[in-house]
Chain A
Amino acid sequence: MAKKKFVVGCFDDEAVLFPAVKKVRAAGYKIHDVYTPFAVHGLDHAMGLRETSLHTAGFIYGITGTSTALGGISWILVKDWPLNFGGKPNFSLPAWIPVTFELTVLFAAVGMVLTFCYLCQLAPFVRKHHFHPRATDDLFVMAIECTDKTNVDDLQAFLSSNGAIETNVQVAETGWWLGTYDMEEKNLEHSNTVVA
């Protein structure tokens, strides 16, 4: 994937971050992402992200599990090899509920976790660009994508005036690549860091 240029603003309080996000968006800048150390509720709405459909995917996986169990067990016990268990009917639905339930949960959970990892591009040996190492500790890091017209200095000043404690410009890869975190930071280019 292509490298892009970003202006990065770091905030240390989510109460400052929210108004800043609103102002940056109102000023017409495109927020690439905000990296936070924990789930900040309402930030996705403030950034204008749409709701995730992960739960819908989970529902579909669950139904797949239900039908796999019911379909599989009925075929096995009624059609493929009917056995006489004490003269009971071959199609004995109540006795199949536990396995059906377990497979519903299993399919939904495994499917959702895999989908989550796929959507967020998470896997072992996946390496991504990190705008600030403290984004997983105590900083809320806003990355704004630059266009040809963006005045980098103005934007940095704008972020500082809205409460950013630190701003800088980075050219970064937006996707992921294979690698581990002990390798050199090849894709990181810092310039004119301003600490307010």
Chain B
Amino acid sequence: MHLKYESQLREPLVMGEKDFHQVTEDIVRPIEAKPSKLWYIGFFIAVALLLFGIYSIYRDVTYGIGQWNLNKTIGWGWDITNFVWWVGIGHAGTLISAILLLFRQGWRTGVNRAAEAMTIFAVMCAGQFPIWHMGRVWMAFFVLPYPNTRGPLWVNFNSPLLWDVFAISTYFTVSLLFWYSGLIPDLATVRDRAFTSLRKKLYGIASFGWTGSTKHWQRHESLSLVLAGLSTPLVLSVHTIVSFDFATSVVPGWHTTIFPPYFVAGAIFSGFAMVQSLMVITRKVFGMEDYITLGHIEAMNKIIVLTGSIVGIAYLTELFMGWYSQNKYEGYTFWYSRANLFSPYGWSYWGMMACNVLSPQIFWFRKMRRNIFVTFFMSIIVNIGMWFERFVIIVTSLYRDYLPSSWSVYYSPTIWEIGFYLGTFGLFFTCFFLFAKYFPVIAVAEIKYVLKTTGEGFKNKMSKIEDQKLDEFIHDNAHAH
């Protein structure tokens, strides 16, 4: 007899009296029903944004990136800001699915599938920015090392920008494989209850002929565990390498050894905020309140207040080092270009401080952590703050160059820079709407696996055991072995 037991002190992760079939019903039903009006409205807004983005990119390719307002001093503006922002958001999914798997955090099962999907879409959006920033995008394959007739001339393996190529593409590939290999058994579940032959055919193709064989499950478990083990250092390495794009340069404000941990914490921070925004809506629209519970939301808010505070410490450390190093240029960047509210970009620094460091402190209060409205509002605030952070790092380090003749405060984005950014929102939400319509947004098999230990109905039955006297318990259970 396997005695599965989890303390009553822990909140149930699946609410209500449910059996395995009920879990399948609850999670697969939204895929089988016709989408609601709300879904169509959201989807068409997303597609409209995407089309605007495509037109902006079309103009970028036709007229060159001269249609952006970058100048000789501020050579990186919205484009790279948005790149780092999206990559950062793309960190939560793998963190939830990999690191929390290794740390045996049961609550990850409710949110991992949607968070992984979100990761993949966010990385797709991030990838657009460096690619279209190249200008001559038809030469994009030059970033790959391949034997060529130009020498052969190879790429520079000592350059952080090349490391980025490897990091982002590896991260995208591994996240995609991790996500899809986890999805195969759930797609098989959808296939086996399909009611039209087209559904049977398409989900049959997508589920690779999965049967649920014990040997296959054994290999599947081994695969997930090793992929989690590989993704854990991978997710840390990706934003570390993104931070190297800045940290290995000699620009004051970028040339900072604190960048890798600071960027990784910021990435997790913004990624979880994005997961919160999406989960709050998804659970409401699809009626998943039993699976994405207040407990899940509270757990994620705890991570938000932790990582937000780590980011806050990093900001303060930078300010301290700006003074302590007694380096004039460092001090100028940190204490004038950024921290001085009345300097040309001071507003962005203090906007960042307010959004990222001060406002998440509200989550020290349990009531606030479990409040859906506060959670949703804060998740938006955090992502605005994290966008400001990247803008601050990139623009305020550049706009006052060493020579005052190269100073520039006249950077503001053109409509096509904004359009490109809006376009990636369109891409992200188009993908997410399609995912939510055609794929199970919650990992069905994983929920079933934890159901008997953390489901409310099963926990209530277990509470009798908790009340039992120890010698009675031994008497009842010891003979079973």
Known: A109-B177, A136-B185. A54 touches B223 (CB 8 A): yes
- Chain A residues, Cβ within 8 Å of B24: 37, 137-138
Chain B interface, >50% SS class:
helix
A43 and B154 contact, CB distance less than 8 A: no
Instruction: Assess the B19–A138 pair: CB atoms within 8 A.
Output: yes
Docked pose: A176 CA to B221 CA in angstroms:
22
| CB of B153, distance to nearest CB on chain A (Å) | 7
Spot the interface stretch: B52-60, B159-167, B314-322, B374-382. Answer: B159-167
Query: Which residue on B lies nearest to A53, using beta carbons?
Result: B222
Please report the C-alpha to C-alpha distance between residue A182 and residue B204 in the assembled complex, in whole angstroms.
Answer: 8
- Enumerate B232-282 residues with CB–CB distance to A below 8 Å: 233-234, 237, 241, 244
- With A55-B222, A106-B173 in contact, is A176–B209 under 8 Å at CB? yes
A124→B445 contact, CB < 8 A? no
A103 contact set on B, CB distance < 8 A: 166, 170
Q: Which of A44-52, A150-158, A160-168, A188-196 contacts B (4 or more CB under 8 A)?
A: A44-52
Q: Report the bound CA distance from A62 to B230 in whole Å.
A: 10
Residues from chain B with Cβ under 8 Å of A119 in the complex: 219
- For B238, the closest partner residue in chain A by CB is A102
Given the complex of chains A and B, what is the CA–CA distance between A180 and B20 in angstroms? 27
Q: How far in angstroms is the closest Cβ of chain B from A86? A: 9
Contact (Cβ within 8 A) B223 A112? yes
Chain A contacts for B205, CB-based, 8 A: 124-125, 180
B477 at the interface (CB under 8 A from A): no
Please report which residues of chain B, range 144-191, place their CB below 8 angstroms from some CB of chain A when the two chains form the complex.
145, 151-154, 156-158, 160, 162-163, 166-167, 170, 173-174, 177-178, 181, 184-185, 188-189, 191
A76→B155 CA distance, assembly (Å): 9
A33 contacts B214, C-beta separation under 8 Å: yes
A49 pairs with B209, CB closer than 8 A = no
Instruction: Give the size of the chain B interface in residues (CB under 8 angstroms).
Output: 71
Residues of A near B474 (CB, < 8 A) are none
- Asked if B200 CB lies within 8 Å of chain A CBs, one says yes
On whether the beta carbons of A181 and B241 are closer than 8 Å, the reply is no
Could you mark each residue 200-232 of chain B with 1 if its beta carbon is under 8 Å from any beta carbon of chain A, else 0? Answer: 110111101111111111111111011100110
Cross-chain contact of B152 among A18, A81, A141 (Cβ < 8 A): A81
A133 engages B192 (CB within 8 Å): yes
Chain A residues positioned under 8 Å from B445 (CB to CB): 37-39
Bound complex: CA of A102 vs CA of B19, how far in Å? 42
- What's the Cα separation between A88 and B21 when bound, in Å? 64
Tell whether B449 is near chain A: CB-to-CB under 8 Å.
yes
Residues on B with C-beta less than 8 A from A44 are 214-215, 217-218
List, in ascending order, chain B residues with CB within 8 A of A133's CB: 192-193
B2, B166, B173, B233: which has the most chain A beta carbons within 10 Å?
B166
Task: Give 4 nearest A-B pairs by CB, closest first.
Answer: A181-B204, A126-B209, A138-B20, A182-B197
* 22 A-B residue pairings within 8 Å (CB atoms): A15-B2, A33-B213, A37-B24, A39-B220, A52-B215, A52-B219, A54-B223, A77-B157, A80-B152, A98-B237, A98-B241, A102-B166, A108-B230, A122-B216, A123-B208, A125-B205, A126-B208, A136-B192, A136-B210, A138-B19, A180-B200, A181-B203
